[in-house]
Amino acid sequence: MRILFHTLCFLFLFSSCKTPEARRPVNIKSGSFIDESINRNKQLASKEEARIQKIIAQDTLHDYITSQGGFWYFYTKKDTTAVLTPKFGDIVNFNYNVQDLNGNIIYTQKELDTITYHIDKQELFLGLREGLKLMKEGETITFLFPSYQAYGYYGDDHKIGTNIPLKTKVTLNKITQESTTKN
């Protein structure tokens, strides 16, 4: 009886010492959802950019500049003598308003009040964050942002909805360099 018990234990141990096998996925998913999303976003971006190009073509009063970041702008007030533009960590003081591309005011300058912002250290929508870096003290620039440079898919949870391209008029009042704020 004892021999039978030891034999069964030995067989049990021998059969349980097996190398682990890789688990196979139950469902194999393709990247079709991601591919569709990419295509939808590309189509949306091209429609918005075509709309912005149409606005630019119809506006003969202003000379628009294309930024490296994918938005367009023109100067209302330009300072040709200043050289200082805000860099990472600098503090800027500015005013701005927000409109849709049809010119309907979403947020007035008075509603938004004067903003004090640490460059790249605080939250601000991407296009405006990059646009401020192009400005000099005292300048006023009007920016045209496609939705992916503005509030994108989510909007701002208040007045700006999903995928809304924006037009903003920004006045940069003051730049305080980071090195002077540390002293």
Q: What is the pLDDT of residues 55-106, one digit of tens each?
A: 999 999 999 999 998 999 999 999 989 889 999 999 999 999 999 999 999 9
> Is residue 130 situated within a structural domain?
yes
> Is residue 31 situated within a structural domain?
no
Structure-token pair, residue 175: 């730049």
> Is residue 153 situated within a structural domain?
yes
Domain containing 94: what range?
42-182
> Is residue 15 situated within a structural domain?
no
> Is residue 91 situated within a structural domain?
yes
Calculate what percentage of the chain has a pLDDT beyond 90. 70
Residue type, 15: S
Domain count, the chain: 1
Place of tokens 């730049």: 175
Give residue-wise pLDDT tens across range 142-175.
999 999 999 998 989 889 999 999 999 999 999 9
For residue 127, the model assigns a pLDDT of 96
For residue 115, the model assigns a pLDDT of 95
3-class SS of residue 178: helix
pTM comes to 0.79
Question: Is residue 3 over pLDDT 80?
Answer: no
Assign residue 72 the CATH number of its domain: 3.10.50.40
> Is residue 6 situated within a structural domain?
no
Question: Is residue 181 over pLDDT 60?
Answer: no
Question: Is residue 182 over pLDDT 60?
Answer: no
Q: Distance (Å, rounded) from C-alpha 86 to C-alpha 136? A: 8
Of residues 29 and 126, more confidently modeled: 126
Of residues 18 and 87, more confidently modeled: 87
* Contact call for residues 156 and 147 (beta carbons, < 8 A): no
* Contact call for residues 66 and 56 (beta carbons, < 8 A): no
> Is residue 37 situated within a structural domain?
no
> Is residue 162 situated within a structural domain?
yes
Question: Is residue 8 over pLDDT 70?
Answer: no
